[in-house]
Amino acid sequence: MPHFSTVGIVAKQGNPEQVHGTLARLCTYLRSRQVCCLLDAESAHLLDAPIGTAIPLPELATRCDLVVVVGGDGTLLHAARATAAYGVPLMGINLGRLGFLVDVSPQDIETVIDQMLAGDYESDSRSMLQASIMTEQASGSVETALNDVAIHKWNTARMIEFETYIDGVFVNAQRSDGLIVATPTGSTAYALSGGGPLVDPALDAILLVPICSHDLSNRPLVVPGNRQIEVRVRRHDQGHVQVTCDGQITLALPPDAWVRISRHADCVRLLHPKHHNHYQIMRAKLHWGGHHAMREPSC
């Protein structure tokens, strides 16, 4: 009997020619193994499924043993935020570019599916962040992020000024283009381009990475994962600032409001092929060198 009997399929949007063939091949193979396939809206559209077949992601998560994402890291981020509360594991087939999170090649679909159905896979748990816009009167809705929460300027060429607090303790005031608050998973995303450190995803930590700080001594900071972070933007800059979760959800910052960020109670469970190696993926994606051949000394 398959280790997973019902699999949800989530497809990348906006590139039907690339996605359709992989999607059809995946569903055909799963059904040949007597696995029930449930489709999200984009998957149903690309496969010309009957009207009413598409299932919203939260419902999909309650009905599946596994969710397979066909796309890039952005598609997986979207699926992770929508399904994390239900504890369903995710696996990604990479049709994007970098693919730190979606690490299965389309060429290996049948082999990897067989391994997964036999229960032969690697699993890890990834922490998430939650962000709220706070005022003296109330707190706004909670938004989640698997990679990062970015506080950044959006309609001005000048820097913004803000203060950072950790567990209520003042840390610093800075002038910069903003601040990235990231999980270890997000250390290979926006935080990497901001000069932040690469952090093993197994660590319980939160990264604070300034964006183009005016003060060159203002360096990235790594703190324990249970810390609560607050960012207070100076009043005259608040109209120029947005808060973005995973680059996909945008929150406005009203006057006299501030941002509160902390670890989310839910985690994302990712499944990988057997012998998955995080550092091998980083070597490949970041073009790190391997062992160099010894050269004979020149005469």
| Residues marked as catalytic | 73
Residue 187 CA to residue 80 CA, distance in Å, equals: 17
Residue 101 CA to residue 270 CA, distance in Å, equals: 8
Q: Is 235 left (phi over 0), alpha (psi -120 to 50) or beta?
A: alpha
In three-state secondary structure terms, 68 is strand
Please answer whether residues 36 and 7 qualify as being in contact, where contact means their C-beta atoms are separated by less than 8 angstroms: yes
Nearest partner of 48 among 29, 24, 69, judged by Cα: 24
How is 8-66 classified by DSSP, letter by letter? EEEE-SS-HHHHHHHHHHHHHHHHHTT-EEEE-HHHHHHTTPPTT----HHHHHHH-SE
Q: Which two tokens stand for residue 275?
A: 């012998």
In three-state secondary structure terms, 224 is strand
